[in-house]
Structure 1
Amino acid sequence: MSTNVGTIDRVLRAALGIVLLYLAFFSGLPLFDGSLFKYGAAVVGVVMLATSTLKLCPLYSIFGIKTCRDC
Structure 2
Amino acid sequence: MTKAAKKPNPALMKPLQPSNDLAAVVGSSPLPRTEVVSKVWDYIKAKNLQNPENKREILADEKLQAIFG
TM normalised by structure 2 equals 0.29
TM normalised by structure 1 equals 0.29
Q: Whose radius of gyration is greater, 1 or 2?
A: 2
**Structure possessing the higher relative contact order (Cα contacts under 8 Å, 6 or more residues apart):** 1
Greater fraction of residues in helix: 1
